[in-house]
């Protein structure tokens, strides 16, 4: 088991008019899953994803990633845990604009203190994996949205994580770019057994997910495998 | 890569970065250049004090400086014999000195009379170079007195006028003599000029009863570094005498020079304090504008320490990028003006003279002042970085999508 979330709740303004962003959610994600968290805006998808990734603290409940309880980690230990175990892909790519595509990917490995020769090889491999080997020296401003998101995926993979959390990764992409991106992610899921957990309301992603968890008003409304339309 | 990210971040908003760098350039240049002017003024004062007034060393009878009584004098022979033992002495002059009243029909004033050998006096006090009217003292012409233009203005005197000089001799009897003004002089120190008048030594000796004796020996050395050694040696070999260096004879000059270093630091600190506010403001803006990016960096695994240092390096680079051109500008302007001089004679010549400074200032910067400035700029950069860096690491970790 990779992700184990028990009784997760996130309550805003608990002393006045409490707002339940996430309401008593239980979640078990196995290794190698390709799972989508779906629901309307305000259903708590992003909040739950942030809690699972350690970017936010639940009001109550517990999140274990490979047996490690995130609530027991200090702030620096949590950052270090994320660095080595979790990759993030954001809706707005969030690449460092002052670094090239290659440098954005290399940056993660520098944080992990990986030697220079290994970094160079891995950057090349990751850019090849996302089909951008000729864009190594391009700055984000010189790349299309789809290309930037592929660099973001490569960056997320740089730390060799077991889990990739992707928050609306296709929201700013056109159809072809979104399809290319999902192809890459599916391939990585299949070949490297990386667990993917998406927060999305993009049908293109939902159609590709093998498991769909629906949130409504912060609670799990349904949890079922998606039937892919051929 | 932290260095790389920090350096490149500076150039995301070039206009803002150039503004801060420009202010650092101007601040560093203004601080150093102003300090160079003050150091130049200090050097000018020291040069004038030594070369025109008190020389490197003066020797007096041990009791002479108390009340400047004529009876406390030293043998000329013993002085000259003692001086021969020191090749470090480049030149010396022997003076008869007495407090006197100078009087004419307009009034009277207290002055110090200096009986000199006109030719030898040039080496320690170049009075002939200060001549503005009439002639310098001439051993062939008797009963002549050489006054400053300032004293002459005060007493409504001209070249050729007669004055009466009254003083106490070695037996404390009042003695007087009538002297004609042979010439008027004007040096770089107006108050000093006003206080001193000059006549031939043997004529003053005749009035005071000090023939073969001197009240004051002033000497210039080959090298300033030998002052301590020569003073100590003369004090040992002349038991009745007291040899003192210029810092003792002219303590106000020494004080000015001592205070220059502290003044330089304080002045730079004030400028840097003002700059620090601008740097803190700019960096704080940069951090808050990039709050989303900073939160993303934390999300993907950049710990707080690295984040802190990223902001710190950015601030230091911003400041250093202004420091280097500022230093270069200061060096160029000081080097140029150090050769040509800053001529204040038309705007503040008399004012400068009234404090004993030359009208032309040659700015110069001691190396220690430049090093102090560099260190202070670094410290300012580091301190300015703390608040924005702390702000950065306190940002919440969860980034917006």
Interatomic CA distance for residues B401 and B399, integer angstroms? 6
Q: A111 vs B302: CB contact, 8 Å cut-off?
A: yes
Q: Would you say A179 and A192 are in contact if contact means Cβ atoms under 8 Å apart? A: no
Q: Which of B239, B273, B305 is the last residue of a domain?
A: B239
- On the CB side of A201, CA atoms within 13 Å amount to 11
Binary contact (B301, A167; C-beta < 8 A): no
Measure in Å the smallest separation between the Cα of B336 and chain A Cα atoms: 41
Task: Tell me: do B262 and B304 sit in the same domain.
Answer: yes
Q: Which of B210, B215, B203, B213 is nearest to B140 (CA)?
A: B203
Chain B hits for A103, CB-CB cut-off 8 Å, are 1, 4
Tens of pLDDT, residue by residue over B259-299, are 888 888 888 889 989 989 989 999 999 888 888 888 888 88
Write the pLDDT tens digit of every residue in A49-107.
Answer: 999 998 888 999 999 998 999 999 998 898 889 899 999 988 888 899 999 999 999 99
Q: Does residue B399 surpass a pLDDT of 60?
A: no
Q: Which domain holds residue A176?
A: 3-95+162-224
Dig out the tokens for A112 from the structure: 């992990």
Confidence band, pLDDT 50/70/90 cuts, at residue A226:
very low
Q: Which residue of B has its CA nearest to A157?
A: B300
Cα torsion through A186, A188, A189, A195, rounded to 10: -120
Residue A53 near chain B (CB below 8 Å): yes
Residue A180 lies in a domain: yes
At B396, the pLDDT band (50, 70, 90 cuts) reads low
Q: Please answer whether residues B258 and B265 qualify as being in contact, where contact means their C-beta atoms are separated by less than 8 angstroms.
A: no
Region A8-15 average pLDDT? 84
Check if A9 contacts B (Cβ < 8 Å): no
Question: Distances in Å between the alpha carbon of B124 and those of A85, B53, B54, B57, B129?
Answer: 84, 8, 8, 10, 12
Cα A161-A114-A193 angle, rounded to 5 deg: 20
How sure is the predictor about B346, in pLDDT bands with cuts at 50, 70 and 90?
confident
Helix%, strand%, coil% for chain A, nearest 5 = 40, 25, 35
Domain that holds residue B280: 2-50+253-393
Helix (H, G, I), strand (E, B) or coil at A19: strand
Q: Is residue A197 part of a domain?
A: yes
Chain B residues lying within 8 Å of A108, measured CB to CB: 300-301
Q: In this predicted structure, which of A9-18, A180-189, B52-61 has the lowest mean pLDDT?
A: A9-18
Q: How does DSSP assign B256-275, residue by residue?
A: HHHHHHHHHHHHHHHHHHHH
Contact across the interface for B305 and A76, Cβ inside 8 Å: yes
- Does B55 map to a domain? no
Average pLDDT for B131-135? 95
Say yes or no: B276 and B374 in one domain: yes
Q: How would residue B202 be classed by pLDDT, with cut points 50, 70 and 90?
A: very high
Scan for tokens 């003695």, then name that residue: B175
Alpha carbons A29 and A50: distance in angstroms, whole number = 15
Residue A16, in any domain of the structure: yes
For residue A80, what is the nearest residue in chain B, using CA coordinates? Answer: B301
Together in a domain, B332 and B370: yes
Q: Does B96 lie in the same domain as B10? A: no
Domain tally for chain A? Answer: 1
pTM: 0.77
Residue B247, domain member (yes or no): no
pLDDT score of B246? 94
Based on the domain organization, do B233 and B267 belong to the same domain? Answer: no
Mean pLDDT across chain B = 91
- pLDDT, residue A14, reads 66
Q: How many CB atoms within 10 Å of residue B114?
A: 23
pLDDT for A228 beyond 50:
no
Q: Which residue has the higher pLDDT, A135 or A172?
A: A135
User: What mean pLDDT do residues B96-118 have?
Assistant: 93
pLDDT band at B313 (very low <50, low <70, confident <90, very high): very high
pLDDT band at B155 (very low <50, low <70, confident <90, very high): very high
Using CA atoms, how far apart are residues B78 and B214, in angstroms rounded to an integer?
10
Provide, as residue numbers in chain A, all residues whose Cβ is less than 8 Å from the Cβ of B293.
Answer: 94, 96
Q: Beta B144-148 vs B174-185: how paired, if at all? A: parallel
Which residue of A75, A99, A108 is in closest CB contact with B300? A108
Which three-class secondary structure string do you get for B3-24? HHHHHHHHCCCHHHHHHHHHHH
Q: Tell me the pairing of strands B213-214 and B57-61.
A: unpaired
Distance to chain B for A230, nearest Cα, Å: 31
CATH (domain of A50):
3.40.50.300
Query: ipTM score here?
Result: 0.84
Q: Tell me if A70 sits within 8 A of A81, measured CB to CB.
A: yes
| Contact call for B397 and A103, based on CB within 8 A | no
Residue B321 in tokens: 């990028």
Answer yes or no: do B224 and B198 share one domain: yes
pLDDT per position as a tens digit, A99-157: 999 999 999 999 988 998 899 999 999 898 888 999 999 999 999 988 999 999 999 98
Q: When comparing pLDDT for A226 and A76, which is higher?
A: A76
Say yes or no to pLDDT of B66 above 70: yes
Average pLDDT, rounded, for chain A = 88
Report the domain count for chain B. 2
């Amino acid at each position: 088991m990779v992700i184990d979330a028990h009784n997760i709740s996130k309550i805003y303004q608990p002393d006045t008019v409490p707002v339940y962003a996430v309401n008593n959610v239980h979640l078990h994600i196995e290794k190698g899953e390709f799972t989508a968290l779906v629901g309307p805006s305000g259903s708590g998808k992003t909040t739950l994803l942030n809690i699972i990734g350690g970017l936010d603290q639940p009001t109550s409940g517990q999140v274990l990633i490979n047996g490690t309880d995130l609530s027991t980690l200090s702030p620096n230990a949590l950052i270090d845990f994320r660095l080595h175990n979790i990759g993030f892909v954001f809706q707005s790519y969030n690449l460092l604009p002052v670094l090239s595509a290659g440098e954005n990917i290399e940056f993660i490995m520098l944080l992990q203190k990986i030697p220079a020769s290994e970094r160079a090889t891995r950057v090349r491999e990751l850019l090849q994996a996302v089909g951008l080997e000729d864009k190594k020296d391009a700055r984000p401003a010189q790349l299309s949205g789809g290309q930037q998101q592929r660099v973001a995926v490569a960056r997320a993979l740089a730390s060799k994580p077991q889990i990739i959390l992707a928050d609306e990764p296709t929201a700013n992409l056109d159809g072809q770019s979104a399809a290319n991106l999902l192809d890459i992610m599916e391939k990585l899921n299949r070949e490297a057994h990386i667990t993917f957990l998406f927060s999305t309301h993009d049908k293109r992603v939902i159609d590709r997910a093998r498991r769909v968890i629906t949130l409504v008003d912060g609670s799990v409304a349904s949890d079922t495998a998606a039937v892919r339309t051929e | 890569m932290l260095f790389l990210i920090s350096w490149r971040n500076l150039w995301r908003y070039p206009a803002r970065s150039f503004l801060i760098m420009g202010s650092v350039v101007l601040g560093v240049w203004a601080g150093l250049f102003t300090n160079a002017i003050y150091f130049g003024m200090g050097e000018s004062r020291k040069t004038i004090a030594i070369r025109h007034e008190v020389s490197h060393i003066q020797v007096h009878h041990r009791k002479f400086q108390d009340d400047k009584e004529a009876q406390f004098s030293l043998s000329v022979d013993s002085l000259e014999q003692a001086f021969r033992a020191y090749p470090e002495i480049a030149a010396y002059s022997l003076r008869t000195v007495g407090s006197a009243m100078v009087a004419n029909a307009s009034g009277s004033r207290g002055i110090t009379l200096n009986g000199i050998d006109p030719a030898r006096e040039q080496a320690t006090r170049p009075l002939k170079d200060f001549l503005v009217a009439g002639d310098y003292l001439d051993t062939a012409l008797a009963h002549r007195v050489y006054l400053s233009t300032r004293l002459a203005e005060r007493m409504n005197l001209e070249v050729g006028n007669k004055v009466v000089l009254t003083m106490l001799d070695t037996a404390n009897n009042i003695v007087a003599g009538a002297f004609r003004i042979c010439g008027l002089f004007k040096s770089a120190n107006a108050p000093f000029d006003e206080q001193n008048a000059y006549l031939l030594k043997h004529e003053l000796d005749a009035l005071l009863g000090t023939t073969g004796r001197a009240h004051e020996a002033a000497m210039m050395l080959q090298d300033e570094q030998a002052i301590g050694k020569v003073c100590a040696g003369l004090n040992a070999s002349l038991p009745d005498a007291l040899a003192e260096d210029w810092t003792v004879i002219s303590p106000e000059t020494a004080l000015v020079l001592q205070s220059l270093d502290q003044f330089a630091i304080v002045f730079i600190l004030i400028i840097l304090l003002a700059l620090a506010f601008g740097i803190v403001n700019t960096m704080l803006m940069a951090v808050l504008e990039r709050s989303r990016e900073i939160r993303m960096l934390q999300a993907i695994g950049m710990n707080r320490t690295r984040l802190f240092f990223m902001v710190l390096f950015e601030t230091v680079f911003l400041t250093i990028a202004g420091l280097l051109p500022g230093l270069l500008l200061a060096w160029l302007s000081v080097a140029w003006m150090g050769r040509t001089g800053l001529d204040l004679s038309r705007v503040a010549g008399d004012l400068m003279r009234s404090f004993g400074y030359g009208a032309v200032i040659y700015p110069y910067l001691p190396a220690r002042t430049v090093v102090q400035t560099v260190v202070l700029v670094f410290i300012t950069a580091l301190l300015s970085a703390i608040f924005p860096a702390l702000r950065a690491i306190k940002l919440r970790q969860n980034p917006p999508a």
